[in-house]
Chain A
């Protein structure tokens, strides 16, 4: 047997799971002489047809095998199949694809079975998923991510981590079961807008500022508890804007989430705070009865001609991808979403839900970046923006969007403003995106 034969047999015979078998076979293919011509590229009709026939046989064989993992008999049958009528490299590649096509829904569980929280290394294989949109009671998605970005030295659902100098990607699967329940059931997503004007927010003046927070935390807590209680009764996922809370309000909102009988996810906005001696802008995502909230550190500070948000991001910054077997969740804060490399990383890792608390006088750029994520990974996205009214340098009122949503079924992002017009103050409220109907609406709350 040649080296490739031995490698291929080893990849099949030693793999404890379908995921590891697919990775092993992919590794054999990737070790080939780059001059190797596969049957797919072969101009000889007979070779081409036999390749397709072989693969059809392999599909039939694999469909009779158990989901729980390869048995010894399965391994033996696959080795025999791989040794018959193909070069070991082509057999490894095609068998990898066939295993991927059938067993990819098991890949993530296998991947994180022995490690739940780790940095994804450059060159490491990782599983990606099709967005679970077939579970929605609407039309199927237009295109699956791998069809938009056909893998060459990868499989449909097994990718290789590229080098991203600006970012480390942390994989966190500790709350996988809860996320799986919430994200697969999610039909409605809410973006909260608790404040009408900047006067309700205490903003320290530049040139370097930190400590933006609600001007009246007690009133803000009352508003957010009311809105979030209502929103969580209607929607599975709720996002509160950037710097709209304090740590004390985060605790109040955790109680709201815990009181819900059903699984819910609440991104409780973000807080300017000092963590281990460093000034941070941290978003907290709350799950029912989960003692440790999911967190995200903003890595792109707000900056204008005169003012700079005074936070100290890590270098490289860390993007945490919260993972369930079928879903990938990431949180960004406002300007984070404008970092092209970050958006590329999120798309590459296959993040299919991105939640973004924001505080911005302009919201047009969010739609473009969310649209890019839709095309890269069929990502559902929510930007929750606050407050409703801003002022330009001449004092003229500006009303940026309260929410920007992306959803892959319609393709284009949806931008939502509060109902009501002019510069008169409006009560707080929330925007709801209904994924099934691909529609959005704003609801005001009259809070005493």
Chain B
């Protein structure tokens, strides 16, 4: 079982309550650091954001309480934990975005195959125009289709090679021209 937001709230409440007791405080900060580490590894974007926010909230409560001269160390630890979560959140956001783009490429591959089935030999530029997507996305998807043997480069229509442009067709299927 991974850490939950309830665990974080409980640990931060203990931190506030244990403040006058230095041993208790150190113990609570240590357990909060462990929890934060677990949350940062969880890949749960919402939990990370909520945990970071809770840490900030309790840091503000400590400041408002103005308890003790040695509070600076605790506050610094809390800020460091928040920054650690911020970095994990950025990583997770980029990972989510990578996943979204990956899903788009997968979808694009099948749309390219459908275009090639319908039209035989086609240039990537024509596919990009027809599907209304960026040509570089078509290039990437086409590369992966060539690598897995679904698609192959083709001589141009009528057998005349255009050395400047690339043409593709489904592998093993003669162009229907």
Contacts and interface: CB of A to CB of B under 8 A. Distances in A.
A325 B53 CA distance: 13
Contacts of A177: 49, 52-53, 56, 82, 86
Interface stretch (A54-62, A374-382, A405-413, A438-446): A54-62
A102 B94 contact: yes
B86 A109 contact: yes
A134 interface: yes
Contacts of B40: none
B136 A105 contact: no
Interface in B119-143: 123-125, 128, 134-140, 143
B101 interface: yes
A63 B137 CA distance: 14
B125 A290 contact: no
Contacts of A53: 136, 139
A134 B138 contact: no
A67 B56 contact: no
Interface in B55-95: 56-58, 60-61, 64, 82, 86-87, 89-91, 93-94
A197 B60 CA distance: 40
Given A134-B100, A263-B50, A106 B94 contact: yes
B162 interface: yes
Nearest to A140: B100
B93 A105 contact: yes
Contacts of A102: 94, 97-98
Q: What is the interface of chain B mostly: helix, strand, loop, or mixed?
A: helix
Given A49-B165, A56-B143, A178 B123 contact: no
A289 B60 CA distance: 7
A184 interface: yes
Nearest to A55: B136
Contact of B164 (A49, A60, A181, A289): A49
Contacts of A326: 93
Contact of B125 (A45, A105, A181, A291): A45
B49 A185 contact: yes
B25 interface: no
A106 B93 CA distance: 8
B9 interface: yes
The size class of the interface chain B forms with chain A is: 35 or more
A112 to B, nearest CB: 12
A241 B134 CA distance: 46
A67 B95 CA distance: 9
B174 interface: no
B57 A289 contact: yes
A103 interface: yes
Contacts of B138: 52
Contacts of A73: none
B94 A103 contact: yes
A84 to B, nearest CB: 15
B49 A181 contact: yes
Contacts of B100: 134
B94 A67 contact: yes
Contact of A181 (B52, B60, B93): B52
A135 B94 contact: no
A291 B135 CA distance: 51
A397 interface: no
A424 interface: no
Contacts of B54: 181, 263
Given A59-B140, A105-B90, A109-B86, A48 B135 contact: yes
Given A102-B94, A106-B90, A106-B93, A290 B45 contact: no
A184 B94 contact: no
B41 interface: no
A101 interface: yes
A51 B50 contact: no
B98 A63 contact: yes
Nearest to B128: A52
A298 B121 CA distance: 62
B173 interface: no
Nearest to B93: A105
A67 B90 contact: yes
A139 interface: no
A76 to B, nearest CB: 22
Nearest to A107: B90
B111 interface: no
Contacts of A325: 89-90, 93
A285 to B, nearest CB: 15
A184 B86 CA distance: 14
A403 B49 CA distance: 29
A104 interface: yes
A261 interface: yes
B97 A56 contact: no
Nearest to B82: A177
A135 B45 contact: yes
23 contacts: A44-B164, A45-B165, A46-B162, A47-B164, A49-B139, A49-B165, A51-B135, A52-B128, A52-B134, A54-B136, A67-B91, A68-B91, A101-B101, A102-B98, A105-B94, A106-B93, A134-B96, A180-B52, A181-B50, A185-B50, A262-B5, A289-B61, A325-B93
| Nearest 4 pairs of A and B residues by beta carbon | A46-B164, A105-B93, A181-B53, A52-B135
Interface of B: 5, 9, 45-46, 49-50, 52-54, 56-58, 60-61, 64, 82, 86-87, 89-91, 93-94, 96-98, 100-101, 123-125, 128, 134-140, 143, 162-166
Given A49-B166, A53-B139, A181-B49, 19 more contacts: A45-B123, A48-B125, A49-B125, A52-B134, A52-B136, A54-B136, A67-B94, A68-B87, A101-B101, A102-B94, A104-B97, A106-B90, A134-B100, A135-B45, A181-B50, A185-B50, A263-B54, A263-B57, A289-B61
